[in-house]
Amino acid sequence: MKSLSCIAVLSLLALTLPLAIASDPSPLQDFCVGVNTPASGVFVNGKFCKDPRIVNADDFFSSVLNRPGNVNNAVGSNVTTVNVNNLGGLNTLGISLVRIDYAPNGQNPPHTHPRATEILVVQQGTLLVGFVSSNQDGNRLLAKTLNVGDVFVFPEGLIHFQFNLGRTPAVAIAALSSQNAGVITIANTVFGSNPAIDPNVLARAFQMDANVIRDLQNRF
């Protein structure tokens, strides 16, 4: 009997563990259109739910990805995001979408999504993409050159990047396994924190002169 009980417990854990580690909780209703005010609402997954009786098709619609983003910036790229913050119908659904525009030689610099896996498809141009595995895996770089229609996956939480190899603009669409995946751009976070990290800490971490670190911090 005791072994049967152990098997039952293990079976239950096997069934429930995938749900427990999912990026976003599973919804318990048809939809929960996110609103920022509590009037006649219930707080779910970081948003109040709009009264379902007044939900309409526009709560599930966005056309922002039709427009190219402004790539006239230091990195030569622009990420246009459709997530729960600008499309309330995504609340509790565990997905979001981005359009990434790249100038020639533009890049989406090394960054991570703390709450989502990303799958990217190239719509225009040629991209060099890749991610770096964790310390436990030896920080291996897994990189690939992608052409139109090619797909690449970036596992949740790992540092990844995209770079436009071509002499013409490039465009990619990416889906993420969270309604609000979050983003941590490595250079901005390390060298542009507020307040700034002590340059001596970074100098030792990167094995660089502290004056070089201060110069980098001034750029961010």
> What percent of the chain is modeled with pLDDT above 90?
73
Q: 120: helix, coil or strand? A: strand
**Among 198, 150, 157, 197, which residue's Cα sits nearest to residue 177?**
157
pLDDT digits (tens, 9 = 90+) for 197-206: 999 999 999 9
Q: Which domain holds residue 65?
A: 57-179
Q: Mark whether 149 and 98 lie in a shared domain.
A: yes
pLDDT confidence of residue 20: 46
In a domain, 1, yes or no: no
Among the candidates 164, 179, 194, a domain finishes at 179
Let me know whether 83 and 141 are in one domain.
Answer: yes
Q: Are residues 93 and 167 in the same domain?
A: yes
Residue indicated by tokens 């030896």: 138
pLDDT score for 23: 61
Q: pLDDT tens digits for 149-175?
A: 999 999 999 999 999 999 999 999 999
188 is in an annotated binding site: no
Query: What rounded mean pLDDT belongs to the chain?
Result: 87
Q: Does residue 68 lie in a domain region?
A: yes
| Same structural domain, 112 and 215 | no
In a domain, 77, yes or no: yes
Same domain? For 98 and 152 the reply is yes
Number of independent structural domains in the chain: 2
Same-domain status, 203 and 174: no
Question: What are the percentages of helix, strand and coil residues in the chain, rounded to 5?
Answer: 25, 30, 45
Is residue 108 annotated as involved in ligand binding?
A: yes
Q: Which CATH number do you get for residue 78?
A: 2.60.120.10
119 and 197 together in one domain:
no
191 and 109 in one domain? no
Q: Using pLDDT thresholds of 50, 70 and 90, give the confidence band for residue 26.
A: low
Q: Do the annotations mark residue 111 as ligand-binding?
A: yes
Is residue 32 in some structural domain? Answer: no
pLDDT at 16: 44
* 148 and 76 within one domain: yes
Same-domain check for residues 174 and 188: no
**What's the predicted TM-score (pTM) here?**
0.81
Distance CA 58, CA 78 (A): 25
Instruction: Judge whether 194 is annotated as a binding position.
Output: no
**Residue pLDDT, tens place only, 50-104:** 888 899 999 999 999 999 999 999 999 999 999 999 999 998 899 999 999 999 9
Residues 144 and 199 in one domain: no
Give the C-alpha separation, 169 to 172, whole Å.
11
Please check whether residue 102 lies inside any domain of the structure. yes
Please, is 52 exposed, middle or buried when counting C-beta atoms within 10 Å of its C-beta (0-12, 13-18, 19+)?
Answer: exposed
215 with 128, same domain: the answer is: no
Q: How many CB atoms lie within 10 A of CB 95?
A: 17
- Asked if residue 130 is part of any domain, the answer here is yes
* Residue pointed to by tokens 């897994």: 142
The pLDDT score that the predictor gives to residue 34 is: 73
